[in-house]
Each structure stands twice: as structure tokens, then as C-alpha cells.
Amino acid sequence: VFEDCAVGDGERSGSFRMSEIYSGYVQSALNVLDGIDIEAVPAWADKANQQNEQASVESVALGAGLDNILRSYQKSGVNWLRFLEKRMFCGVLADEMGLGKTLQTLAWIQLQREHEEARDFPALIVCPTSLVDNWAEEAAKFTPHMKVATLHGADRHDKWDGIESVDLVITSYALMR
């Protein structure tokens, strides 16, 4: 477990550094062993507890507009994204085309971020150029309260100054590259 999670040597002999992303996993592994005491800085212990506190995915309040639109499997996708967010994990929605991954993602993005340091920043969607306008149209249709900026086309440079005042920035893989 430690070899897989270590990212470098620690300050003391026999110690190591580890990314916070592994804290819950390491804490769980150590808690099942007899005679093991964990000495950790409070921030690490808090992160580990946060990652391990919820055993199941909980339902998220989406608001009447989206709650009446999303199908049950789409709500499950939004709930799963929130579950991952609470633990500072990442995830991918990967199912068949046409099942509403765009809508699920927009429903999750419009929620207030769980972690204060992530609030008040726009979300970034990077997609194929052919889908930039589709993302903007879907956002206007399903989350009309969100301010959206599309960064593509000849006028994209003119939009840079306004990015901090929007909720969602949509651009293409080609421009990100």
C-alpha cells in the first residue's frame, strides 16, 4: 500500500510523503490492522476522514427544473459526481451516446461547489470543436441561470477579460493544445 501511494521520502528516516488523494485509502488499510497507531498531521487525518465518511452515494437536491427533467439514471450520475467531489476525486461519465452525459454534467456544475477553495471559479469544458456550440445551447436550455462563455472562433481573444465573471467556459481540444 505504501509503495503504491508514496510520492517521495519524508523528513524523518523511514517516513515518506504521499498525495492527499490516497489518505482515505491508507487510513482504511491501517485501521484494519491490530496494534497500529496512525500519527498524522491534522490536515491529513481530516482529509482521510472526509474521504471515508460516506459509505454510499447520497441524493443531491437539483431544484425543481432539473429534478423534473433528469431521468433516474441521470440523477444517479449527478449524485455520483457529487460523491466523488466530496472526496476530491475525479471521475468520468462514460456511457452510450445520447444518454445525457452533457445534461448530467451541467446539473452537477450548477451545484455550489462542496469545497470553498473551488467556489467562485468558472468550470471549464473542453470538447471537440464540433460540440462547443452544442454545450452552450444545452447550458442555455437546461441551466439558463449560468453565465456561459465560449472560447472559439475569431473573437475568442476578446472574451478573455470576462472569464472571471462567468460560471462556465467552453472551449475545444484544438485551442487547449
Chain segment 160-174, per-residue pLDDT in tens:
888 989 999 999 999
Alpha-carbon span 37 to 27, nearest angstrom: 10
For 146-169, the DSSP string reads S-EEEE-STTGGGGGGGGGG-SEE
Could you give the percent of the chain with pLDDT greater than 90? 41
pTM attached to this predicted model: 0.75
**pLDDT tens digits along 64-80:** 789 999 999 999 999 99
What is the DSSP secondary-structure string of 116-140? GGGTTS-EEEEE-GGGHHHHHHHHH
Tell me the C-alpha to C-alpha distance, in Å, between residue 70 and each of 42, 97, 128.
40, 16, 24
> Which set of grid coordinates corresponds to residue 88?
476530491
